A and B are shown apart, each in its own frame.
Chain A
Amino acid sequence: DIVVTQTPLSLSVTPGQPASISCKSSQSLLHSDGKTYLFWYLQKPGQPPQLLIYEVSNRFFGVPDRFSGSGSGTDFTLKISRVEAEDVGVYYCMQSIQLPFFGQGTKLEMK
């Protein structure tokens, strides 16, 4: 099984400041088709998860451009350039190069 591990597990950020979450995979997520199967989700309180980023760095429809994803191989990062109040929730990375596996989640709260 390919395991993904997130750090930190919690973040307290002042509105307008940046935030960064790391996701490390136990194996490379680069597929032979050239795609890298790493995704980022945000689960806001009381809601189902919503897709933010697919294949490392592609923002899903309607996702603000303050969210960006980067990385390759086994190391990935989600960055929020300027955190807003609506960004509060739990962020998950997920790999799907093999059977899908979610990271433990990173809880983002406002300072």
Chain B
Amino acid sequence: EVQLVESGGGLVKPGGSLRLSCAASGFTFSYAWMSWVRQAPGKGLEWVGRIKSKADGGTTDYAAPVKGRFTISRDDSKNTLYLQMNSLKTEDTAVYYCTANMVDWGQGTLVTVSS
């Protein structure tokens, strides 16, 4: 059974940083293209960014609102995906989901950016 478990969310002040993790199991993590998708309170889904499998180059892509502030990385030896979020803004407040190949999803972790 595929499992994706996000962690690391919490309350952070504007301008601060936070690192989210997503622990994966039940599938071959190293083959997967992994993405982060967020959902602001009461709003729709917004794709944040992705990292391709190393076999496909391991490159990253980001949505415009987070480019230059967020960094996605992966550790295939630990079956773990990361999202480093810097220079956080109040509009980054959301539940952050990790997803494998945009098919399997975690339950999400809440990030609140507020003073």
Segment at the B interface, from A17-25, A65-73, A75-83, A100-108: A100-108
A39 and B105: CB pair below 8 A?
no
Question: Are B105 and A50 in touch, CB under 8 angstroms?
Answer: yes
Interface residue ranges of B38-95 to A (CB < 8 Å):
44-47, 50, 61, 63-64
| Interface size band for B | 10 to 19
Bound-state Cα–Cα, A50 to B37, Å = 13
Task: Choose among B45, B61, B97, B106 the residue with the greatest number of A CB atoms under 10 Å from its CB.
Answer: B45
Q: Are B44 and A102 in contact (CB under 8 A)?
A: yes
| Interface check B102, CB cutoff 8 A | yes
| Cβ–Cβ contact B44 & A101, under 8 A | no
Q: Are A48 and B44 touching (Cβ within 8 A)? A: no
Note all chain B residues with C-beta closer than 8 A to A88.
Answer: none
Which residue of chain B lies nearest to A51 when distances are taken between CB atoms in the complex? B103
Q: How far is the CA of A79 from the CA of B79 in the complex (A)?
A: 37
Residues of B within 8 A of A60 (CB): 103
- Of all chain B residues, which has the CB nearest A9? B44
Q: What would 4 more interface pairs be, CB under 8 Å, given A39-B102, A90-B44?
A: A41-B45, A48-B97, A60-B103, A100-B47
Pull 6 A–B residue pairs with CB atoms less than 8 Å apart, ordered by A.
A49-B37, A60-B103, A100-B47, A100-B50, A102-B44, A104-B44
